[in-house]
Structure 1
Amino acid sequence: MSTDATQQEQGGGPDAAQEWRRWHEGRVVAVAAPYGPLSLTGTHWLSDYPEGRIPAVPGHWRENGDEVVLTAAAEDGLVVDGKLLTGEVALGADRGAIDDSRVARGERRLVVLRREGLWAVRDFDPGSPARHAFSTIEATPYDPRWALSGTFRPYGGDRTVRVANADGVERGLGLGGEIAFTVDGEEHTLQVAVEPDGSLWAVFADATSGNSSYRFRFLRPGAPAADGRVEVDFNRALLPPCAFADHFICPFPPPGNTLAAAVLAGERNRIDA
């Protein structure tokens, strides 16, 4: 029996499989883009450089309350808002696309980041070794068995739990509720954050994590319906950014978000040439 015929019997249909293939191809393109996650070559916390000099980044970077003051000379080659910086400028956290960041040096983009009151400078370089070594994302082909119906159960208020991050530091992770779904007749739940647009975000591990898949993954369901119904499609489980560059600070799964089931779906690992 053909794969498409099997999917039709199971309720997925060829359209869902084709849509997934387009999604997967788009993910590979986005990851390999000049300012995708593979181009991150460093996250430099200013608290580690109280004198203001970051060895890998030109200029002088100084915290000043709710802003960062960058001082540079012409020989530093730093461009801010499209103009060579000679002097100083106050910067806030960058919140848009990487290539829209205010500070650049040639093709590099220097992105100002703030987390839990601490400032950092991220260095994105399209010429990074990781980007040029990348081949593709290993992913399990679409399986309608993992396109599940779930229910979102909001908490009475936001909760914050402390979880380890990929850089070894513990940070707060905000959670707004949980999603419940059934796999092989058994109910499972995942705690989720609620994004500003109403969509959901889960950090989870499962029985494949650290074996046939990366040590944890992300899931991003859409906004729930008014009655709480939500699609829980593990075919679109994502590798976190730290699977592509060590300099991201991805949170590990919170307590309760490690599933006993083996989720044989979605992105599994980065593949280099």
Structure 2
Amino acid sequence: MKTRTLVCLMTASLLAAACSSQDGRAVDSAAVAPTAAAFATEHAEWVRERAADLGRPDGWTSLIGLHWIEAGRRSVGGGEGNAIHLSIAPDRLGQVEQRADGLYFQPAEGVPITVDGKPLLHEVRLDTEGAGGGTRLSYDQGKGQITAIKRGERLALRVRHADAPARRDFAGLDFFPANEDWRVQAKFVPHPAGKTLPIVNVLGEIAENPNPGYVVFEKEGRQWQLEALGDPAKGLNLMFQDQSTGQLTYGVGRYLHTEPVAADGTVVLDFNRAYNPPCAYTDFATCPLPPPENRLAQLDTGGHRTRLAVLAGEKKYAVAKH
């Protein structure tokens, strides 16, 4: 998802305000709050862009399969006799094989497939998704796409198709009404350099992630904190659960991306832009889960457990019914 792009949407007037004040002195962008009208307009645009991103022909709703690779050469295609059966594909697409130096795909004869936009005429090594983008195979006139992912020591084929039922039946997004009270200013507290945080994904795999620090904010008369991932200079990534989780909001939890941390350590947490992970829309994603530290719960002096209910941002996704 292009979440980082989405959260950076700003009107031209606000960008100007963030860069300078009336007397020409620099103004901290984290301290600039939009007017009520601009806030509502920007939020509506952000929601529209997020829905459009999910519904792209290759967006999260287009996923039709996640196929873990086993030993040996494995046939791939839509026919029932294939070792890797794709729900939307020609009978035979080709064969895939994992070797010591990577994953390879051999196209079936006469089947039009492209690799990174060019006709595929011979065997190709599939680089996994990541910072470099990975190798992308396309079929069915570009509507079907296959990439490789690596989770732990395992490799899998991730398959998309523009005609995926989840995309065809996408029901749209449901958000709490935008509320400026949920746009709160927080303080970023750095950890010692090199600290990591173990993050579990839906497959049960654990990965150590750079944990540059945590954010502290006040709400409902209490102070709360969330451990952060990402780069403070580019923006923090927060994953959290709250009292609404599993009731009004998605049961796994929600994500939130911030603007860069300001020079004075302040950062705005706009919970109106809390969003569901991809797993809310597809069974074929491998979403990381919020760490236990980020459940927005605390014990008071009497030993009573209190949780914050973040009644802002994206609600549960309701699948369209026919």
- TM-score where L is the length of structure 2: 0.74
Contact 1:134 1:272 in 2 (8 A): yes
Contact 2:212 2:231 in 1 (8 A): no
Query: Which consecutive unaligned segments of at least 5 residues does structure 1 have?
Result: 1-9
Match of 2:84 in 1: 55
> Against the structure 1 CA distance between its residues 72 and 266, is the aligned structure 2 distance closer, same or farther, given a 3 Å change threshold?
same
Largest Rg, 1 or 2: 2
CA distance in 2, matches of 1:45, 1:196: 35
What does 1:88-127 correspond to in 2, within 5 Å? 88-95=123-130, 102-106=136-140, 107-127=143-163
Deviation sequence 1:146-169 (CA, Å, 0-9, x none): 000011122113444444322x32
> Against the structure 1 CA distance between its residues 153 and 64, is the aligned structure 2 distance closer, same or farther, given a 3 Å change threshold?
farther
Cα RMSD between the aligned structures?
2.4
Contact 1:12 1:144 in 2 (8 A): no
Matched, 1:37 2:60: yes
Q: Secondary structure at the match of 2:53?
A: helix
Contact 1:162 1:170 in 2 (8 A): no
- Please say which of residues 73-82 and 233-242 is displaced more in the overlay: 73-82
Deviation sequence 1:72-108 (CA, Å, 0-9, x none): 222454322334434311221234798x953111211
Match of 2:178 in 1: 142
CA shift, 1:115, in A, is 3.0
Q: Percent identity?
A: 31
Q: Secondary structure at the match of 2:172?
A: strand
CA shift, 1:189, in A, is 0.7
Aligned residues: 260
Matched, 1:15 2:38: yes
Query: Which consecutive unaligned segments of at least 5 residues does structure 2 have?
Result: 1-32, 75-82, 87-92, 297-306
> Against the structure 1 CA distance between its residues 70 and 11, is the aligned structure 2 distance closer, same or farther, given a 3 Å change threshold?
closer
> Against the structure 1 CA distance between its residues 117 and 266, is the aligned structure 2 distance closer, same or farther, given a 3 Å change threshold?
same
Match of 1:256 in 2: 293
Flag the structure with more relative contact order, 1 or 2, with Cα contacts below 8 A and sequence separation at least 6: 1
What does 1:67-216 correspond to in 2, within 5 Å? 67-95=102-130, 102-106=136-140, 107-166=143-202, 168-174=203-209, 175-195=211-231, 198-215=234-251, 216=253
Contact 1:222 1:230 in 2 (8 A): yes
Kindly indicate which of the two structures has a greater share of residues assigned to strand.
Answer: 1
